[in-house]
Amino acid sequence: MSIRLGYQIPNFTYPGPAAELFDTVVAQAREAEASGFDTVLVMDHLYQLPGIGPAEHAMLEAYTTLGALATATSTIQLSTLVTGNTYRNPALLAKTVTTLDVVSKGRAVLGIGAGWFEREHHDYGFEFGTFGERFERLEEALRIITPMLKGEPASLDGKWYTARGAMNNPRVRPHIPVMLGGSGERKTFRLAARFADHMNIICDVDDLSRKVAVLRERCAEIGRDPATLATSYLVMGMVGETEQEVKELAESIPDDRRNRAFLGTAEQVAEQLHERVLGAGIDGITINLIRNGHRPGVVAQVGAALKPLVG
């Protein structure tokens, strides 16, 4: 399993009524599938994120959305980038993603991370805890989830979670791949080396080469061949069809994401990604188009420009 070219949908604020919102999501997923993307990903959040829009903006629940997309697509992989571990019991999450795999006929990927958006936890009544506690919980969750995704009963009497021979049927594949998302060199990368099939690195592009090197070190520390842990990088795509649109998009880039945003026409962004991302040793690219991905034709244009880089 790998994600060579992923399309992430983080924005659900579109023109038109809410009853038509999902039609626009489906259109993007189908356009991505038809234009060379191998994976469609959604965020696992309850509110819109700062920097993309106000918390009150539309946000769809991730696994309901992915299950519906499974029936609207036929070949593209389906995943979150990434599931917040703190929002779900881990055995139930394993069941959820396995059901998605059955519904999609073997196209699910479990993306998972420790969770970070404190306001969501506060408002919805989920325990947030400290940074260290969230990573303790993630490790325990992975000890339950990863055997269940292989069809093995999971048992754990942990500090945070308990499982007592939890079974997971039906399944359509021997193993559902696991992707961790994040940038933490001490905690996240160690967990990825131990448990994951794929690591999506989220960081400023200037830090990317060093992050890739550290991830390889974490694999080597436990005797794992780094080549067996695929990598990808999340890109904020500010892709305009005209010079004027590129100029307008430049003014909308959040200050805290300027070192993760790539600005220009589709061809210009492809050239930047070839040099700065793939040149840093990353295997694949996941891009979002938060300002205009909902506009028909934009996803296809970006797919045509990026597919040769990773094909």
pLDDT attached to residue 1 = 62
Question: What mean pLDDT comes out for the span 236-254?
Answer: 94
Question: What is the Rg, in whole angstroms, of the alpha carbon atoms belonging to the chain?
Answer: 19
Q: Do residues 62 and 84 touch, judged by C-beta distance below 8 A?
A: no
Report d(CA 214, CA 93) in Å as an integer.
Answer: 29
Q: What is the CATH number of the domain that holds 283?
A: 3.20.20.30
pLDDT attached to residue 256 = 82
Report the 10 Å Cβ neighbour count for 187. 17
| pTM for this entry | 0.97
Q: Do residues 86 and 137 touch, judged by C-beta distance below 8 A?
A: yes
How many angstroms separate the Cα of 89 from the Cα of each of 94, 115, 254?
9, 13, 33
Q: Do residues 5 and 284 touch, judged by C-beta distance below 8 A?
A: yes
- Coil/strand/helix, residue 175: coil
Report d(CA 225, CA 244) in Å as an integer.
Answer: 47
pLDDT in tens, 164-219: 999 999 999 999 999 999 999 999 999 999 999 999 999 999 999 999 999 999 99
Full domain range(s) for residue 187: 5-310
H or E segment and range at residue 303: helix 298-310
Number of domains within the chain:
1
Omega before 239 within 30 of 0, i.e. cis: no
Size of the chain, expressed as the number of residues it contains: 311
Q: Decide the pairing of beta strands 162-166 and 39-42.
A: unpaired
Report residue 255's pLDDT band, with 50, 70 and 90 as the boundaries.
confident
Q: Decide the pairing of beta strands 284-288 and 5-9.
A: parallel
Question: What mean pLDDT comes out for the span 147-168?
Answer: 98
Residues forming beta bridges with residue 80, ordered by sequence position:
42
